[in-house]
Structures are given as C-alpha cells and as structure tokens.
Amino acid sequence: MGGVTESVDVAVPVRTAYNQWTQFEEFPQFMEGVQEVRQMSDTMTHWKVEIAGVKREFDAQITEQLPDERVAWTSTQGAKQAGVVTFHRLDDTHSRVTAQMEFDPEGVVEKGADKLGVLKTRVKGDLKRFKEFIEQRGGQETGAWRGEVPRPGSEMPRPGPGPAL
C-alpha cells in the first residue's frame, strides 16, 4: 500500500478552510483528475476520478468528522484508499491543511505511477490549488457542513440539557 502526506498553509482562519473542505462537490474545481464528487448522504460520497490515464469510480465513507479539526474517510468499494485531512490554527487569519492518504494501486500503470511519485505530486498540487481557490474567494467559503461524525467505536460527548436551577 502506498501513502502520501502533504501540507499547505492558507491565509484564512481554520474555520473557513474546514468549511470549504466539507464542500466535496466543489473538489473538481481544485483537484486534478477529480471529475465529479457527489454527496450521497452526510457520510457517503461517490467519486469519478482519472489518475495516470486510468478512470475509476468509487464510494467513500466519512469515518470521522470533527468541525475545524479533521475529516477522515475510507473507500467502501472500488479503488482501495483511506485518508484524513487535518486543520491546524496558526493564528487568527492563517491555518495549515494537512492531507494524509493511503492507497492500494491496481495494475501496472497505477503501480508505476506510485513508484514515480505521481500521487504525491498530485496531492501537493491539489493543496496548492485549494489554497489559491479559497484565498481568491477573499476567504469566503462556498458553504459548510458543521455536523460531527464520531470515530467508529468512540462515543463523542454531546451537550446535555445543562444544570437544573
């Protein structure tokens, strides 16, 4: 299985960077090779991609999502991959976006592309284009989804009704 980790610093608050990242259907505007992403539900997406001339479709499930912190996913069918994007506050107007991906290249073309570092180059370019996309918008995201998806097997604390008076 191959993997890649890349980061980019963006001149927007962490909330803005996170909010934009939750707009999966906008990904083709800044991700090379991503032809379409359809949001099927809060936790399911359907992807059409082309990498190194190989076209693939797959479904991915959001396995964890914490506002302003992280979005993690894994493919449920099709190309085997998983990853997490984390968001780090640098100051009030700057943040760092880090993408970590693991993937299982299939066939000679994908294995060759993996050995040549094509995915690493693509992820680095995608993050650079994300930076340009959000900064050119004047730091205004195209939308946001602020819901939470707890990590499998964990119970996230939920706010209670508060103390009785």
The residues near 32 (Cβ < 8 Å, ≥ 6 apart) are 122, 125, 126, 129
Q: What is the mean pLDDT of residues 144-148?
A: 89
Q: Which residues pair with 50 in a beta bridge?
A: 55
Task: Looking at 10-136, list the stretches that DSSP marks H as alpha helix, in order from N- to C-terminal side.
Answer: 14-21, 107-115, 118-136
Tell me, rounded to whole angstroms, the distance of Cα 20 from its chain centroid: 10
Cα separations in angstroms, 29 against 25, 117, 119, 153:
9, 22, 18, 34
Helix (H, G, I), strand (E, B), or coil: what is residue 19? helix
The string of pLDDT tens digits covering residues 45-103 is 999 988 777 888 999 999 999 999 999 999 998 778 899 999 999 999 999 999 999 87
In order of their start, the domains of the chain are: 2-136 (3.30.530.20)
Give pLDDT, residue 161. 44
The string of pLDDT tens digits covering residues 7-53 is 999 999 999 999 999 999 999 999 999 999 999 999 999 999 887 77
> DSSP letters along 109-146, please?
HHHHHHHTTHHHHHHHHHHHHHHHHHHHTTT--S----
Give pLDDT, residue 111. 60
Give the DSSP H/E element, type plus range, for residue 26: none
**pLDDT over threshold 70, residue 5:** yes
